[in-house]
Amino acid sequence: MSPRPPTVSRRRSISDPLAFALLPPPNETPAEREQRLRREAEAKKVNDDIDDMLKAERAAQKKRKEVKILLLGQSESGKSTTLKQFQIIHAHSQFQAERSAWRAVIYLNLVRSVRRILDAITLDESDEESPYGGPRSPTALLPATRQRLPELATLKLRLSPIIAIEEQLIQQLACSEENDTRIMLPPRQGSPEFGQRGSGEISVRTGVNWKQAFAKFKGKRPTGEGNILPRNDPNDPIHVLHACADDMNTLWNSPLIKDILQQRRIRLEESSGFYLNEITRITDLNYVPSDDDVLKARLKTVGVVEHSFSLDKGTEKGVDWKIYDVGGARNQRQAWAPYFEDVNAIIFLAPISAFDQVLSEDPNVNRLEDSLLLWRNIVSNKLLQKVHLVLFLNKCDLLQMKLDNGVMLNQHMTSYGDRPNDYDSVSRYFRNKFAALHQSFSPNQDREAYIHLTCVTDTRKTSEVITNVRDIILKENLKDSRLI
């Protein structure tokens, strides 16, 4: 015989009407008790089933209202810049508040360009002539130019404080009160990696608001939101940069330097983080980066960085957008796959101006070939067959500049043959090439790949593209969830 429920609980529950109503009747027989318990168990199961149903419905509802976008593409394709454009459109006040934090990155980009010029005028005998008596390196200087190098000695000396500034900026960006330094430093002189291709960039690590990490180094006097450099501090790099501004301008505008860079085949205008045409403005003591400056700033991504936006307008009301920005260098790509299962759309960036460049992580691989291969892998991936694909054929401004300067596509891609070397023909050729790969290799023949020719540093044009892409993704997504 089962024991009766303890009288203590009966007494305690008298004051609670619900508990009182649920109390077993007095003098309940064991058979009645068994029946009651069975009834209660059945009722609980029905209750649990309803709870589960509601939970599943809520999850489905939530899923419908969340759009996840993955930004993919090789390193320096423009993924982080595209993310900045999303921020400009959908989180502009936050973007503006953080603009000052980019000042150090912009200085570092400028200093790096100056250092590249100084390196180019520094005579390195082994660079000029092969130690084995073989042919000269293709980037060696003409003898007449070499003879003129001493003319630059004074300027070089006057610019030496710039090198110290580079060190200081790197320290400032990397230094952390916590032990887990989140900013990855380029290798130092003397380290085994120093001088290796692709190893000279400073990068930002996954999932970290580096701007906040930087904000710790505001110095003693607060200098405004997100401002990481203590501007009033005499140690602020701005003072040295400001003092060296004229010399930097002289260096960059010197015909001899232009000659040397041409002979060395260094095209700084096309490289990331190029500010040499704006030295006076950037080195002004009261300089605050503009939106365009931030879009041009180069900071390599390592890992995957997530950003969320809530849209509260029109048809997009209540839709949460999650955008994942990944590192595109070869050693970063293994981090992409875990995001494939759950993503609604991919924006793939292929910088089509890079047809005459090689990967910085592997000088044997042409950058455009790498983009084509990567695109092919993405479009043919079965896991991604339901994912909407948007392709940005990016850096169209640089493509135009290159073609206008006479760089011939067919010298780098023989398949181009003798077609005209103008922007319209070349961009159409690339569009068809990427579209054909999608058509041939997509496991989902109903899927359309939306292709745009872009320059994601241009806010006006990119804002139109982003609005268009957003509408398409939203429409496709609603179709998927059978809302329309």
Ligand X SMILES: Nc1nc2c(ncn2[C@@H]2O[C@H](COP(=O)(O)OP(=O)(O)OP(=O)(O)O)[C@@H](O)[C@H]2O)c(=O)[nH]1
Binding residues: 295-301, 394-397
Can residue 226 be called a binding residue for ligand X (CB under 6 A)? Answer: no
Provide the minimum distance between the beta carbon of 353 and ligand X in the complex, in angstroms, as a whole number. Answer: 8
Selected from 457, 465, 469, 473, the binder of ligand X by CB under 6 A is: 457
Provide the minimum distance between the beta carbon of 206 and ligand X in the complex, in angstroms, as a whole number. Answer: 11
Indicate which of Mg ion, ligand X, none lies near residue 438 (CB less than 5 to 8 Å, by partner kind). none
Binding segment for ligand X (CB under 6 A), chosen from 162-170, 176-184, 241-249, 295-303, is 295-303
Total chain residues near ligand X (CB under 6 A): 25
Report the alpha-carbon distance of residue 49 to residue 43 in Å, rounded. 10
Dihedral sign, Cα of residue 441, residue 444, residue 446, residue 451: negative
CB distance 182 to 205 below 8 Å? yes
- The rounded Cα 20 to chain-centroid distance in angstroms is 62
How distant, in Å, are the alpha carbons of 18, 83, 92, 154, 272 from that of 101? 59, 17, 15, 34, 18
Can residue 453 be called a binding residue for ligand X (CB under 6 A)? Answer: no
CB distance 297 to 457 below 8 Å? no
With 0-12 / 13-18 / 19 or more C-beta atoms within 10 angstroms meaning exposed / middle / buried, residue 23 is middle
- Closer Cβ to Mg ion, 322 or 475, answer by number: 322
Provide the minimum distance between the beta carbon of 377 and Mg ion in the complex, in angstroms, as a whole number. Answer: 19
- Closer Cβ to ligand X, 247 or 370, answer by number: 370
- Closer Cβ to Mg ion, 79 or 452, answer by number: 79
Can residue 272 be called a binding residue for ligand X (CB under 6 A)? Answer: yes
Indicate which of ligand X, Mg ion, none lies near residue 264 (CB less than 5 to 8 Å, by partner kind). none
Selected from 67, 69, 76, 293, the binder of ligand X by CB under 6 A is: 76
Selected from 68, 75, 118, 348, the binder of ligand X by CB under 6 A is: 75
- Closer Cβ to Mg ion, 331 or 432, answer by number: 331
How distant, in Å, are the alpha carbons of 59, 324, 455, 460 from that of 346? 23, 10, 18, 22
CB distance 297 to 44 below 8 Å? no
For residues 42 to 81, the per-residue mask of contacts with Mg ion, x marking binding by CB under 5 A and - elsewhere, is -------------------------------------xx-
Query: β-strand 304-311 against 319-326: which pairing, if any?
Result: antiparallel
Q: Which of 329, 331, 327, 326 is nearest to 343 (CA)?
A: 326
Binding segment for ligand X (CB under 6 A), chosen from 73-81, 366-374, 411-419, 425-433, is 73-81
What tokens does 319 get? Answer: 């839709």
Selected from 86, 102, 327, 355, the binder of ligand X by CB under 6 A is: 327
Provide the minimum distance between the beta carbon of 169 and ligand X in the complex, in angstroms, as a whole number. Answer: 16
Kindly report the CA angle at 84 between 83 and 87, in degrees rounded to 5? 90
Binding segment for ligand X (CB under 6 A), chosen from 59-67, 338-346, 393-401, 432-440, is 393-401
Q: Which of 213, 437, 203, 211 is nearest to 332 (CA)?
A: 203
CB distance 450 to 389 below 8 Å? yes
- Closer Cβ to ligand X, 149 or 335, answer by number: 335
Report the alpha-carbon distance of residue 478 to residue 233 in Å, rounded. 54
- The rounded Cα 148 to chain-centroid distance in angstroms is 42
Can residue 80 be called a binding residue for ligand X (CB under 6 A)? Answer: yes
Q: Which of 320, 327, 291 is nearest to 462 (CA)?
A: 291
Can residue 227 be called a binding residue for Mg ion (CB under 5 A)? Answer: no
Can residue 81 be called a binding residue for ligand X (CB under 6 A)? Answer: yes
Indicate which of Mg ion, ligand X, none lies near residue 76 (CB less than 5 to 8 Å, by partner kind). ligand X
Can residue 301 be called a binding residue for Mg ion (CB under 5 A)? Answer: yes
Which SS3 state, helix, strand or coil, does residue 279 take? helix
**In the chain, how long is the greatest CA-to-CA distance?**
115
Can residue 296 be called a binding residue for ligand X (CB under 6 A)? Answer: yes
Can residue 82 be called a binding residue for Mg ion (CB under 5 A)? Answer: no
Can residue 328 be called a binding residue for ligand X (CB under 6 A)? Answer: yes
User: Site residues (CB under 6 A) for ligand X?
Assistant: 73, 75-81, 272-273, 295-296, 298, 300-301, 327-329, 394-395, 397-398, 455-457
User: Site residues (CB under 5 A) for Mg ion?
Assistant: 79-80, 301
